[in-house]
Structure 1
Amino acid sequence: MDWSAEIGQALTEGVKQGFQQPNLRQQALECVQYKLQNRCMFGNLTLLHYNMYQGELESESIQVAAAVEALILALDMIDDLQDQDNDSPPWSKIRHDLALNIALGFVFLSQHMLLQSDFEPDRKSAAAALLNAQSLHTVSGQMTDLLNNIESEEQYIEMILGKSASLLVMACQVGTVLACGEIKPETREYAEQLGIAAQLKNDILDLTGNERKNDFWNRKRTLPVLLLLAEAKDDEAWMLDYFEGRASLEDVQEQAPHFQDRLERSGAIPYASVRMRVAYYRCLEIVENLSIDAPYKRVLLQTLSS
């Protein structure tokens, strides 16, 4: 099941109604259109969990899914503004102060769309509380990421749980609480495992990419980067010198062509890949044991696998 078109339409309508200033509205709509090039994963998870726990698909639930996507869009924008390593989105092509203002607008629009929905007040309040609580977890996780002082696998997994995984938990639990009025602990468990797997997958890709997106050359402490540095031998001291800031990119330029070969010979990528698969299979195992109807379990497994 993919409700991305319906979610996108609701988010577009929310922007048109909520953003009164013409420039703000137009640039926000451009950001939404860019986001809608990809499937609305978080909003889809919200609607799927709403349906799983006996909620009936209707315009109000789609509006809440759009509210979730508005928040995700805001956080994506802020993340790109902080990292400054992605020139593709429209928010990277305008003044940063304007982009930040639009992102703040999406944060408030998310709350507005949720609270304006026609759900029962107690369930709506519980959903809003979830939205805020998990957003605070995400801000904490992002702070840890920005400080870039992680030194162990345990610290890194904790950062993921407080960042990307917390948003998956939020998307699933908002749909659940609106449908049945309670939070399902198992929902947090598989959402967290999925978040760990997804982040490690990104980390692997971001260590094998070009210099602009490569986590090593950006001196970003991810699990595979930490593993790579831990294996550095005496004749590879340049890696530690560069990553710790004792040498510049110009100082180690002659070593750059050999980096990919060194990476392929290391155990960093294989270990991170195994850790990623362990988290992903644990996620699937939890879902297999859920007490939900078989058709929903099948759809959930398909959604988590895509």
Structure 2
Amino acid sequence: MTDLKELQLLIEEAVNKLSFPNHPAELYEPISYILSIGGKRLRPALLLMACDLFGGDVKAAVPPALAIEVFHNFTLMHDDIMDNAPLRRGKTTVHERWNPNVAILSGDAMLVEAYKLLMQIDNSILRPALILFNQMGSAVCEGQQIDMQFEQRDNVSLEEYLDMIRLKTAVLLGCALEIGALAGGANKANAELLYTFGERLGIAFQLQDDILDVYGDPEKFGKQVGGDIIANKKTWLLIKALELAGERERAELDKWLLAKTFDVAEKVKAVTAIYDGLGIRQLAAEAMQAFATEAYQALEQIKVETERKQQLRYFADNLLNREK
């Protein structure tokens, strides 16, 4: 079995070899730019890991893995416009470096490039791979739209939130793994189990991110701790706190949620104190662990030798025990 770092390196080399037309420069240069500013390449590496799990040709699976990476970066390019974000991975975002219209059109071109890469998969699995990719693409857009709608709503249920992160984040992991499984020659049952592993892991990953945003070590987390609290973002922690809050806690939460001007550190401290009083961190950790358990159970059911599944289990362990 090839380990994760080797697969990430393989993807990085393949990304660096991608070439796009020189003209018109403002259409293609932003694509090369956003792909060049890094990222962990985890999603495409997962596709290769799934292919390897079933004894497939990892190098032959590089094009569909690149399709996943290009698609992922296309969504980031458009997300940055919607969020009016100035930075992506510490570098100027495409819409800031060029302009929003360039970023929209370059993002559209990236989506086309992702399909070109996916089309290089073996013809015997092209149709199911395209179906998976299309379902995933629609789901990610649905998740983003629902997330934006949440910003305008006062009440969001935990069930709605979990479905939103499933669509926006988790289905891409599931899709990468299932396409990789198909490329490796897996049967339908094993491929679908691997999708479930990825989807459940993706939800657990996002819940871990919600926890780290409030309780992470600022030195390790890599971004401002408490950013979700400052932005009134409807995360699992806030939704659960609103659900459990008594009259006093609810009044305090509402005060901070409605405040137009506030001291950032004071707001983060006050809301975190409410979370602490309600035991929100522990409850969120338990919810995360429940989804992680479902992921591991799906992996366990896949009918290949246990030792061949070790890399995926190791990947999941590291993802869910990270500090950033």
TM-score when normalising by structure 2? 0.81
Deviation of residue 140 (structure 1)?
A: 1.1
Distance 1:67 1:19 in 2: 20
CA distance in 2, matches of 1:49, 1:225: 35
Answer whether contact 2:54 2:185 (CA < 8 A) is retained. Answer: yes
State the partner residue of 1:9.
13
3-state DSSP of counterpart to 1:216:
helix
Deviation readout 1:82-132 (Å, 9 max, x if unpaired): 2335623432542233223332222111101121x2x43241232122111
CA offsets 1:56-93 (integer angstroms, 9 cap, x no match): 122x3112211111111111222233233562343254
Q: Does 1:40 align with 2:41?
A: yes
Query: Are 1:172 and 2:177 an aligned pair?
Result: yes
Structure 1: gaps (5+ residues)? none
Could you give the per-residue CA deviations for residues 12-54 of structure 1, whole angstroms, max 9, x where no partner exists?
Answer: 333x23564334433322211213xx32111111111112223
Unaligned runs of 5+ residues in structure 2 are 217-222, 319-324
Within-5 A mapping of 1:74-113: 74-85=74-85, 87=87, 88-91=90-93, 93-94=96-97, 95-113=99-117
Say if 2:229 and 2:271, in contact at 8 Å, map to a contact too.
no
- The CA deviation at 1:186 is 1.1
Q: Please list, as runs of the form range in 1=range in 2, the aligned pairs for 1:88-167 lying within 5 A after superposition.
A: 88-91=90-93, 93-94=96-97, 95-115=99-119, 117=120, 119-148=121-150, 149=153, 151-167=156-172
* RMSD of aligned residue pairs (Cα, Å): 2.7
Aligned residues: 297
Give the direction of change, closer, same or farther, for the CA distance of 1:212–1:143 in structure 2 (3 Å limit): farther
Provide the rounded CA distance (Å) in 1 between the counterparts of 2:126 and 2:22: 23
Distance 1:266 1:300 in 2: 35
**What is the identity, as a one-letter code, of the residue corresponding to 1:190?**
F
1:70 is matched with 70
User: How far did residue 298 of structure 1 move?
Assistant: 0.8
- Contact kept? 1:34, 1:90, Cα under 8 Å: no
CA-CA distance at 1:213 after TM superposition: 6.2
CA gap 1:67/1:159 in 2 versus in 1, 3 angstroms = same
In the TM superposition, what is the alpha-carbon distance from 1:219 to its structure 2 partner? 2.3
Aligned counterpart, 2:238 = 225
2:213 matches 1:206? yes
Q: Decide whether aligned partners of structure 1 residues 208 and 96 sit closer, same or farther in structure 2, where only a CA change above 3 A counts.
A: farther
TM (norm. structure 1) is 0.86
Which residue number corresponds to residue 322 of structure 2? none
Structure 1 residues 61, 251: CA separation in 2 closer, same or farther (over 3 Å shift)? closer
SS in 2 for 1:176: helix
Task: Measure, in 2, the Cα distance between the counterparts of 1:65 and 1:254.
Answer: 42
Alignment deviations for residues 253-292 of structure 1 (CA, whole Å, 9 cap, x no partner):
7962533333332322211111111211331232233211
Contact 1:242–1:252, Cα closer than 8 Å, also in 2: no
TM-fit CA distance, 1:177:
2.0
Distance change (3 Å), C-alpha of 1:200 and 1:18: farther
Counterparts of 1:303 and 1:51, CA distance in 2: 14
* Closer, same or farther: CA 290–18 of 1 in aligned 2, 3 Å: farther
